[in-house]
Structure 1
Amino acid sequence: MKATEILRSSSAPNALFESFSTSSAPSISMAAPRGVYAESGGGGRALDEDRERNADSPTDKKYRAEKSPPSRWEFVAALGVFLSFSSALLFIYLTMPAADYNILKLPRTLADLRLLKDHLGSYARHYPAKFILGYCSTYIFMQTFMIPGTIFMSLLAGALFGVGRGLFLVVFNATAGASSCYFLSKLIGKPIVVWLWPEKLRYFQTEIGRHRDKLLNYMLFLRVTPTLPNLFINLASPIVDIPFYIFFLATVIGLIPASYITVSAGLALGDLKSVKDLYDYKTLAVLFLIGSVLLFPTLRKSKASV
């Protein structure tokens, strides 16, 4: 009798433990979702909040490549702006003095450029003001809507106006067109840039965050050297929150060296065999040397901070 009672008393805790383990014990998974430990303590929740805060910070912001074209509204807005610019440009051409419009076309080769230069030489001398208006309108239009061929327009400026006036016209038109492209991209450009250059945009955002303290020097370096295409810089700058005054100053100053090379080559247009001859290894080395001098304050500040 005593033995039976002893067995019953010894098995009661085991039964109690089994009932607790099958009914009351919470199950803990090794693959718990994010934030599952926040209910049992504040450490997990603080860690999650820090991660979310870092992910949303301006310097660590990542542009996820959403492979989707611009929306219908953005397409309609871009088309409306393009038609407005086109109408203004057409009005300027229709009000200019008569000319042979079969020859007036955007040059695509050096042969086209030489033919256009020979035809426009006398026209520019007889109607200088109207010619400059038409030239500037065309250049700004091409720069705003990323139409290839502005390098031929820069060569034409050197051939028709010389180095001094030609350089002024090229820098003025390139800056005006780049500024117009900046504001157009600020309005509707983000989905286009994210769609076309997601990786390049992410790299650009990271570099801007690194050089935020000396942003003007870094932008001058990008303008002087062919590190990134000017087309991409014009479109991506408002997206990565580059202030317009820095964008404007970097464009005005940074485009002078390359524009000088192109305008000077326009003086010897007949001897130029290819556009690639404009930027040989010697010219590129000079541009990168100038850009390195402009970037030096940024590099020195980075080493000091490290």
Structure 2
Amino acid sequence: MEGGRNQSNSGNGTVNNVVRSGFPLSFWEAAVGAFVILGFAVGLLLVYLTLPPSDYSFLKLPRNLGELQILRDHLETYTSDYTAQVLVGYCVVYVFMQTFMIPGTVFMSLLAGALFGVFKGVALVVFTATAGASSCFFLSKIVGRPLVFTLWPDKLVFFQEQVARRRERLLNYMLFLRLTPTLPNTFINVASPIVDVPYHIFFLATVIGLIPAAYITVKVTLFLISLYLRATKLWGH
């Protein structure tokens, strides 16, 4: 009990020792974040410029099955003719969203299943989600400490205590976190480097932990799309 209390006090001390200002990032930290955003923007622009002239008003994040089906129908042609561009564009968007904690990656996972099927879709989701989580990990290692202390001080103290307590079997604990909703994945990505989770542990837990969720997401997507198409035909008649 005393050891746990000391750890908690130490964690709270760490949080309290962080000097907060109106804006939690320093100039150089904000500059690094802006540079990363610019890099993603340039990547997306290059992908867009390599696609043939067309009406791309359909390119938006789907919010329901109908929009997902419309996006899939449009992208299927481009995927067969411009596979590399579609894959690169998909990866850049997914990694960008994961890096900067932008909601909507679940719909990107649904799109992967709709476009590429079960096995290719699962592989693509696991790859991009792991790349995005890794990007978030390293960006947080550089500039994320003030943000995490500001946004999630209590969760950070809890996470720090648990990591310290389970240091010898840390991979098992990180796998448990990836497979259960104990802590949000976004928080895990950002906080792991701050509480000294080694990257190889973070990487392995992310890859292995994402496979079941990715498989279920892709399978459910294909099932729902088949139901949607059947319902559309039925109502059409």
- Tell me what 2:233 maps to: none
1:185 aligns with 2:133: no
- 2:47 is aligned to 92
For 2:90, the equivalent position in structure 1 comes to 135
Helix, strand or coil at the partner of 1:71: coil
Long gaps (5+) in structure 1: 1-53, 273-306
Pair 1:117-2:78 in alignment: no
Q: State yes or no: 1:71 paired with 2:22.
A: no
Structure 1's 215 and 59: CA in aligned 2 closer, same or farther, altered over 3 A?
Answer: farther
What SS does structure 1 have at the residue aligned with 2:86? helix
**Is 2:127 the partner of 1:176?**
no
Q: Pick which of 260-269 and 101-110 moved more.
A: 101-110
Identity of aligned residues (%): 58
**2:209 counterpart of 1:248:** no
Q: Does 1:258 align with 2:213?
A: yes
Q: Helix, strand or coil for the counterpart of 1:103?
A: coil
Q: Where in structure 1 do 4 or more consecutive aligned residues deviate above 6 Å?
A: none
In 1, Cα distance between equivalents of 2:177 and 2:76: 35
Compare 115-124 and 76-85 and name the one that shifted more.
76-85
Native 8 Å contact 1:114 1:269 kept in 2 = no
AA at the equivalent of 2:217:
T
Q: Could you tell which deviates more after superposition, 202-211 or 85-94?
A: 85-94
Shift of 1:90: 1.5
Alignment of 1:104 with 2:104, yes or no, is no
1:84 to partner: Cα distance: 2.0
Q: What amino acid maps onto 1:104 in structure 2?
A: L
| Residue of structure 2 equivalent to 1:231 | 186
Does structure 2 conserve the Cα–Cα contact (< 8 Å) formed by 1:117 and 1:159? Answer: yes
Are 2:8 and 2:157, in contact at CA under 8 Å, matched by a contact in 1?
A: no
Partners of 2:25 and 2:93 in 1: CA distance: 28
Per-residue Cα deviation, 1:8-43 (whole angstroms, up to 9, x for no partner): xxxxxxxxxxxxxxxxxxxxxxxxxxxxxxxxxxxx
Letter of the 2:126 counterpart: V
Matched residue pairs, number? 219
Q: For 2:15, what is the secondary structure of its paired residue?
A: coil
Q: CA RMSD for the aligned pairs?
A: 2.3
Cα deviation for residue 230 of structure 1 reads 0.8
After superposition, the C-alpha distances for 1:242-267 in whole angstroms (9 at most, x for unaligned) are: 00000001111011111111011121
- How many angstroms does 1:72 deviate by? 3.7
- Within 1, Cα distance between the matches of 2:90 and 2:58? 15
Structure showing greater relative contact order (alpha-carbon pairs closer than 8 Å, 6 or more residues apart)? 2
The answer to whether the 8 Å contact 1:157/1:266 transfers is no
TM-score (ref. length: structure 1): 0.66
Pairwise CA distance, 1:97: 2.9
CA distance in 2, matches of 1:264, 1:123: 23
Offset at residue 59 of structure 1 (A): 10
Aligned to 2:102: 147
Preserved contact between residue 178 and residue 206 of structure 2 (Cα < 8 Å): yes
Deviations 1:208-241 (A, max 9, x none): 1111110000000111112111110000000000
Aligned partners of 2:214 and 2:131: how far apart in 1? 14
Unaligned runs of 5+ in 2: 229-237
**CA–CA separation in structure 1 for the residues paired with 2:9 and 2:120:** 42
Deviation per residue, 1:174-203 (Å, 9 max, x gap): 001100110000000000011001101111
